[in-house]
């Protein structure tokens, strides 16, 4: 089963993501802050990480930079979730070597699941 780590502090957002991705057949793991996110990412080495930029301890950019330096996570796509304008999201992706972004709010569950699927690496 494909495993996705969601690093997100807002429960309503998490529930929406969980609903969309569970329905699509993915196994969802959740971290509510950056330090937990890093620890879980290193333990799980998930197939994909969905990373909210606004987190209560360190923000998503700092976490992305740290994850990208971890050899065990080299092949794990990191996708940022943000309400920022697309241009700013692209800059974060470039600067922190993420693999893509999804703009919030998530309005259509099926479209969101398809976006996530497009970032998963082929087995």
Partner 1 sequence: MQPDNTPQTIKLIPASQFSIEQLTDIYNRTRVDYMVPMPMNAARLAEYVANYDVKLENSIVAASQDGELLGVIMLGVRHERAWITRLGVVPNTRRGGIGKALMQGLIDEAAKLSIDFCMLEVIKNNTPAHQLFLKFGFHEVGELLVLRRSPLNRQLDPVVADAERLERADALVLVGHDRGTQPWTNQSESLFNANEVSGLRLTLPDGSRGWLVYQRQKFLLTRFAYKTEAGDPAKVTYALLSHLHHQYPRLDTHVENIQVNDPHLPGFQEMGYIESFRRIEMWRGDPPADLNKFVRPR
- Binding region for partner 1 (CB under 8 A): 9-10, 33-34, 54-59, 61-63, 65-66, 68-69, 83-84, 91, 95-97
User: Which alpha helices (DSSP H) does 25-108 contain, by range?
Assistant: 34-44, 60-68, 86-95
Quote the least distance from Cβ 63 to partner 1, whole Å.
8
Quote the least distance from Cβ 27 to partner 1, whole Å.
26
Quote the least distance from Cβ 108 to partner 1, whole Å.
19
Nearer to partner 1, 21 or 63 (CB): 63
Cα angle: 120, vertex 4, 121; to 5 degrees:
15
Residue listed under structure tokens 């996708």: 79
- Backbone phi and psi for residue 25, each to the nearest 5 degrees, phi listed first: 95, 15
């Amino acid at each position: 089963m494909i495993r996705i780590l969601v690093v997100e502090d807002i429960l309503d957002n998490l529930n929406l993501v969980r609903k969309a991705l569970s329905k699509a057949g993915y196994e969802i793991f959740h971290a509510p802050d950056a330090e937990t996110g890093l620890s879980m990412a290193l333990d799980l080495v998930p197939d994909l990480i969905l990373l909210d930029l606004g987190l209560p301890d360190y923000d998503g950019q700092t976490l992305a930079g740290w994850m990208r330096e971890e050899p065990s996570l080299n092949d794990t796509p990191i996708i940022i979730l943000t309400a920022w304008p697309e241009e700013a999201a692209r800059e974060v992706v470039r600067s922190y070597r993420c693999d893509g972004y999804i703009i919030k709010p998530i309005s259509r569950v099926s479209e969101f699941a398809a976006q996530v699927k497009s970032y998963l690496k082929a087995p």
